[in-house]
Structure 1
């Protein structure tokens, strides 16, 4: 299966936009395709370094950008599946592939001859007649190869390669363990009375989950990636809430075959050793050096500035919750599994608002078409048409063709809404094909969520948090669709990690925008719009519970920084996960047991199996820009084509082809101010 006739991965797809022929791809096609792609890419790199001509932009940088086309196609096709539909067979391939991919990446990034040519072009940069994107490409390629270790001697490179390969295996193991333990810990309830407070649709989903697991007549509640769970806000049984949160918090730390504690501490040790090898004090220093933050100290300063007022707000919120409990017939001391439930009681008392009763107004199809898509059309002029003739990697994944205002094709958008045992937790965006003028490709982007799937025939009713997630992830999708660059290195969301969340956070602003909300927030049965007085209460309560929300996020961000700020000597000692977590949270003043971190270490996939190591701070860092941008839209008329065009052309459209803060200044006309963020999160005072 190493020729195009027998392996569909080895030839460009004939489908629209290069969509992979997923129905024709079998699991056994992947590894042979990767092997062929590795060899082809290696030959392309060797052809660059074998040239006798002096290095130029055209014969080195441009050829480097053209290289690896086959590998990119195969990798994006596979990793889309391995994250969203990881059958046991796909998991085995993923595990086998991890060290191979790491070794190949190092072979290219650490290639001495290639680095010498890139450096030669970089050193003559000021004398070259290059455009802005070309110049930035030289700067980025040189910096990235240097940061990866290309300037090290052969002995150090050998050690570095071994570390990288081991880390790739460990990250894969971490994710595999987490997926398995998350599935194992799905909570089984014998009686519907134990789930009192859930809607008919939620009960239907739990019954269907049980039936799918061979437990007819029972109810199974699957776990979310983060610590909490949406059902904690409505379950009337305190014992049911406790069971659900206990299961969530115990993931991958139970001393069984899926325990991640030794895995993550080895990851921490190896990352610290790699940082030292590359000349940095810590992994956090290594990561932030090439981000907009610049240093761990800048990150720590922001997190500490926000932590004290957030913790104080959370304590005030806790007192309000305890007052509600104390007034009940059988008072008790509130615990973490009670917070969401009593928060809704306080919200109801303070704002006369029950958010859990809003789900009939958030039917998924209407939110998507009349909310998410409509806002994008109003801002950017784009339109969406479902392509039922095109099949993605799973029957639940829907394909939409996206067109420009003049009818010309832009790309494809794929939405995979529902949770399943083969899908990793959380929500994310990825690209199957990235736009590039050099390669003549148009984008195909995917949004994945984990919404419980109701029984056949029942509508999918979203929580307000799930509505937010849908708008958020679509902001990433817009970034991937709109970025228009020459070189694939800058395509789509290929920007600094602590900038990548900015466009997605901005897209959340349209959730409550009057023209958008009036179209999508309509009752699933009657079609009546969400009452105006409810909308007003939602706006009034936007800052409500921000003490909790900010604290749980900051606690997780601080855990990430704590793990990745240790030096190699400290990392080489025995690291006790529970002790380090407790010490870290005490250090920043977020050690309130009623407000646990959004992620604890053993299920912190963002940083131990994803791309956010030492970078989980990115969400709040980007939110400074986001809040400032929302203020700009409000000042300039909101949902208009002119505003959308400015945002698209000056920010989304540049992809990674220029410094992101420079792009922001071009859009905003100045640096971002932090005050809008402080106001939004109730931290201004």
Structure 2
């Protein structure tokens, strides 16, 4: 019996839509599975590269696209475990795979015989009679090979191999250190009185977290990934707020085993060297060449325009908060007083809002309801199917014609084995050529309630739930031929656009009225409270805009470093970069400081964190389009799905958007939304 028949990672699943049989898989199965899968793809690529027939799209580009199915299956399982449910064994496997998979990809990309066939086809692309999707796939495969170093001299190729392999190791290590230090930096509070301002449920969760961490008494305030911690809006004790803030902002920079600063310096240096080898000025130019933004200068100009306006708004906001507090306030106090300011300006107290936002009800009667009204989708929970963790729930997704189109997994509760933040992943990619339907997962980090208690969502958590489901819709409604073009496989600075659009439905009257029921009484949300919640959500604080822009500027600054530049002090570089961009003072730190900026040093957003605001330009005007066309209607959803959600990277996403809206993107609606119009 072959390994493929016995290794459950590589076995084709008999479960609906290829859902992995997680219960049959052990950690010991992964490395053998990846070893076999890589060997199988190398054999497939060898056959493509040595094919005696002239190169065609089908025997070269399409054949390469469809190779490595075992590797895709293994990756779909393993890398959907490492983020939400890791352990020391999986961390070790991930570290080994980071270099093995990078070396494997380089072996294929730098195969001179294969590149010769792809380059020949690319040179004749206009004459091949391909569809738009096929043309885009060929062009992308050619660019990927060139950007991997296929066109370089052999000695430069060796440098590229070393750089790529080393970067894979470093970025994986960076992510693991953040998780370890975020867990280690949780704040222990001995006296319950010091938690004044937190709800009873939050206090119980803090006690349970302390017990889980091995503390016989006391309470544990666990940290979220961003600098700003949500508990700071509620804790009334300034000293406790300061402890939590210090724990957050000093993560991974204390000189211990979790310190990431030396990783940051080596990562940016290697990225700069790689960019120079490929003929780019810096890593930002290398990255943005593949995005919808035309160049780093255009991104810098957008960030600069927004920063100037945001800092003026921030000055007025600080003056107002200082008057409200009647004393000077520091970085640890800002969000606390912002919350007091919000409450004082609300006609109706918003304290009761989350009592109308119970997780299960919001999911079924809000998130899924909106998807049904717009896209005709129906969700049926499959209690007979098991996820990778007991907390994971699974729904089968049906089209309005009753056809099963995929599976949606929800993993909503925080745990020490899960990295911070929220995200969406594909376990199985949609592809008509492969006859595969999507299996997608949303991951959040909500505090798990005690048994029998409801999970109530704050306004931010409600928005995050709808945001991540927007990514899920992008995957579920994909209708493309090739797996590498499916769903969210679009330019990084476009990928956030559909998810941001989906946020608009969280508080839309037709949606909110459908799900907002008091968790205890079942009473519908009062009209005045619903209107106050919408008004509050539509008022973007200057603090939120500034902390985001500071992180985006910091990302771009690190990646404008050239190969010959020398940087040896992470904190000094941060200060200089932020002040040069117009961020004066330390009152509002970036959403992520460099030492724990996982998006850019551990994830896929390097030189691309600007994408959230770049995508929001499209989102703000698309929201206006939806409302002008009548809002939550099936016809509007169908148009948006046909233009964006179903097309993935099979078309130029910006061109498709312009066809939907009827013009090129404009920044005006974003400035209005952010409260920066006329600044």
For the aligned pair, the TM-score class normalised by the smaller chain equals: over 0.9
Q: Distance in 2 between matches of 1:197 and 1:78?
A: 40
The residue aligned with 1:664 is 657
1:681 corresponds, among 659, 674, 677, to: 674
Tell me, yes or no, if the aligned pair for 1:190 and 1:218 is still in contact at 8 Å.
Answer: yes
Q: Any residues of structure 2 matched to 1:608-647 within 5 Å, and which?
A: 608-647=601-640
Query: SS at the partner of 1:654?
Result: coil
Tell me, yes or no, if the aligned pair for 1:234 and 1:356 is still in contact at 8 Å.
Answer: no
The residue aligned with 2:451 is 456
- Alignment of 1:494 onto 2:492: no
Query: SS at the partner of 1:286?
Result: helix
The residue aligned with 1:603 is 596
The residue aligned with 1:233 is 233
Normalising by the residue count of structure 2, what TM-score does the alignment of the two structures yield?
0.98
Tell me, yes or no, if the aligned pair for 1:310 and 1:546 is still in contact at 8 Å.
Answer: no
- Alignment of 1:258 onto 2:258: yes
Deviation at 1:589, TM superposition (A): 1.4
Deviation at 1:112, TM superposition (A): 1.4
Query: SS at the partner of 1:430?
Result: strand
Query: SS at the partner of 1:440?
Result: coil
Tell me, yes or no, if the aligned pair for 1:98 and 1:168 is still in contact at 8 Å.
Answer: yes
Tell me, yes or no, if the aligned pair for 1:2 and 1:36 is still in contact at 8 Å.
Answer: no
Q: Distance in 2 between matches of 1:353 and 1:37?
A: 59
Deviation at 1:541, TM superposition (A): 3.1
2:379 corresponds, among 384, 387, 398, to: 384
The residue aligned with 1:329 is none
Query: SS at the partner of 1:414?
Result: strand
Tell me, yes or no, if the aligned pair for 2:540 and 2:675 is still in contact at 8 Å.
Answer: no
2:587 corresponds, among 584, 594, 612, to: 594
Query: SS at the partner of 1:568?
Result: coil
Query: SS at the partner of 1:504?
Result: helix
Query: SS at the partner of 2:379?
Result: strand
Deviation at 1:196, TM superposition (A): 0.7
What per-residue deviation string (whole Å, max 9, x for no partner) do you get for residues 157-183 of structure 1?
111010000000000110111000000
Deviation at 1:343, TM superposition (A): 1.0
Query: SS at the partner of 2:432?
Result: coil
Q: Distance in 2 between matches of 1:2 and 1:314?
A: 64
Normalising by the residue count of structure 1, what TM-score does the alignment of the two structures yield?
0.97
Query: SS at the partner of 1:655?
Result: coil
- Alignment of 1:338 onto 2:330: no
Identify unmatched segments of 5+ residues in structure 2.
none
- Alignment of 1:155 onto 2:164: no
- Check 1:498–1:133 CA distance in 2 against 1; reply closer, same or farther (3 A cut): same
The residue aligned with 1:368 is 363
Query: SS at the partner of 1:175?
Result: helix
The residue aligned with 2:416 is 421
1:530 corresponds, among 525, 545, 551, to: 525
Deviation at 1:662, TM superposition (A): 1.1
What per-residue deviation string (whole Å, max 9, x for no partner) do you get for residues 137-168 of structure 1?
11221122222221112111111010000000
Deviation at 1:414, TM superposition (A): 0.3
Deviation at 1:4, TM superposition (A): 3.0
Query: SS at the partner of 1:10?
Result: coil
Q: Distance in 2 between matches of 1:61 and 1:414?
A: 32
Q: Distance in 2 between matches of 1:560 and 1:394?
A: 34
Tell me, yes or no, if the aligned pair for 1:347 and 1:354 is still in contact at 8 Å.
Answer: no
Deviation at 1:406, TM superposition (A): 1.2
What count of residue pairs does the alignment treat as equivalent? 678
Q: Distance in 2 between matches of 1:536 and 1:475?
A: 24
Tell me, yes or no, if the aligned pair for 2:379 and 2:395 is still in contact at 8 Å.
Answer: yes
Query: SS at the partner of 1:448?
Result: strand
The residue aligned with 2:77 is 77
Tell me, yes or no, if the aligned pair for 2:540 and 2:673 is still in contact at 8 Å.
Answer: no
Tell me, yes or no, if the aligned pair for 1:224 and 1:425 is still in contact at 8 Å.
Answer: yes
Query: SS at the partner of 1:541?
Result: helix
Deviation at 1:221, TM superposition (A): 1.2
Q: Distance in 1 between matches of 2:90 and 2:361?
A: 34
Q: Distance in 2 between matches of 1:455 and 1:445?
A: 27
What per-residue deviation string (whole Å, max 9, x for no partner) do you get for residues 249-297 of structure 1?
1110000000000011100000000000110110001000111112110
Q: Any residues of structure 2 matched to 1:562-573 within 5 Å, and which?
A: 562-570=557-565, 573=566
Deviation at 1:542, TM superposition (A): 3.5
1:541 corresponds, among 527, 531, 536, to: 536
What per-residue deviation string (whole Å, max 9, x for no partner) do you get for residues 467-510 of structure 1?
00000000000001111111112012100000000000000000
Tell me, yes or no, if the aligned pair for 1:207 and 1:216 is still in contact at 8 Å.
Answer: no
Q: Distance in 2 between matches of 1:341 and 1:652?
A: 38
- Alignment of 1:651 onto 2:617: no
Tell me, yes or no, if the aligned pair for 1:182 and 1:251 is still in contact at 8 Å.
Answer: yes
Q: Which moved more, 1:2-11 or 1:166-175?
A: 2-11
- Alignment of 1:165 onto 2:162: no
Deviation at 1:346, TM superposition (A): 1.2
1:399 corresponds, among 362, 382, 394, to: 394
Deviation at 1:131, TM superposition (A): 1.6
Q: Distance in 2 between matches of 1:217 and 1:142?
A: 60
Q: Distance in 2 between matches of 1:375 and 1:562?
A: 40
Q: Distance in 1 between matches of 2:209 and 2:534?
A: 35
What per-residue deviation string (whole Å, max 9, x for no partner) do you get for residues 424-470 of structure 1?
11000000000011111100000000111122221111111000000
Identify unmatched segments of 5+ residues in structure 1.
327-331
Deviation at 1:545, TM superposition (A): 4.7
- Alignment of 1:480 onto 2:467: no
Tell me, yes or no, if the aligned pair for 1:317 and 1:545 is still in contact at 8 Å.
Answer: no
Query: SS at the partner of 2:71?
Result: helix
Deviation at 1:208, TM superposition (A): 1.1
